[in-house]
Amino acid sequence: MTVNALVLTGFGINCDNETQRALARAGAETVRIHLNDLLAQLDQLDRAHILAIPGGFSFGDHIASGKVLANRLRHKLGAPLERFVSDGKLVIGICNGFQVMVKMGLLPYCDGALKQEATLTWNDTSRFENRWVHLQAPAGNRCVWLKDIEQIALPIRHGEGKFIPGDDAILQRLRENGQVALRYVRDDGAPANGVFPFNPNGAVDDIAGICDPSGRIFGLMPHPEGYQERTNHPAWTRASLPAEGAGLRVFHNAVEFARNEL
Judge whether residue 210 has pLDDT over 90: yes
Residue 124 — very low, low, confident or very high, per pLDDT cuts 50/70/90? very high
170 contact partners, CB below 8 Å, separation of at least 6: 108, 110, 117, 118
Q: What pLDDT score does 113 carry?
A: 87
Q: What is the pLDDT of residue 95?
A: 98
> What's the whole-number mean pLDDT along residues 129-152?
97
* Residue of 49, 134, 223, 252 with catalytic role: 223
Which pLDDT score is estimated for 114?
93
State the angle between helix axes of 96-104 and 67-86 in degrees (0 to 180), rounded to the nearest 10: 70
What is the rounded CA–CA span in Å between residue 52 and residue 9?
9
Residues 140-159, mean pLDDT to the nearest whole number: 98
Burial of 179 (0-12, 13-18, 19+ CB in 10 A): buried
User: What CA–CA distance (Å, rounded) separates 125 from 84?
Assistant: 37
Give percent above pLDDT 90 in the chain.
Answer: 97
Does the active-site annotation cover 211? no
Question: What per-residue confidence (pLDDT) applies to 211?
Answer: 98
Query: Of the candidates 92, 96, 99, which has an alpha carbon nearest to the alpha carbon of residue 120?
Result: 99
**pLDDT at residue 109 above 90?**
yes
> In this predicted structure, what is the pLDDT of residue 179?
98
Active site (annotated) includes residue 18: no
Interval 53-104: pLDDT, tens: 999 999 999 899 999 999 999 999 999 999 999 999 999 999 999 999 999 9
pLDDT digits (tens, 9 = 90+) for 180-194: 999 999 999 999 999
In which band, very low, low, confident or very high, does the pLDDT at 112 lie, cut at 50, 70 and 90?
A: confident
Instruction: Single out the catalytic residue among 95, 117, 134, 211.
Output: 95
> Known catalytic residue: 143?
no
pTM over 0.85: yes
Select which of 117, 160, 225, 252 is catalytic.
Answer: 225
DSSP characters over 36-99: HHHHH-HHHHHH-SEEEE--B-GGGG-SSTTHHHHHHHHHHHHHHHHHHHHTT-EEEEETHHHH
CATH architecture of 4-261: 3-Layer(aba) Sandwich (3.40)
State the chain's mean pLDDT as an integer: 97
- Condensed to tens digits (0 to 9), the pLDDT of residues 12-41 reads 999 999 999 999 999 999 999 999 999 999
Roughly how many angstroms between the first and final C-alpha of the chain, as a whole number?
9
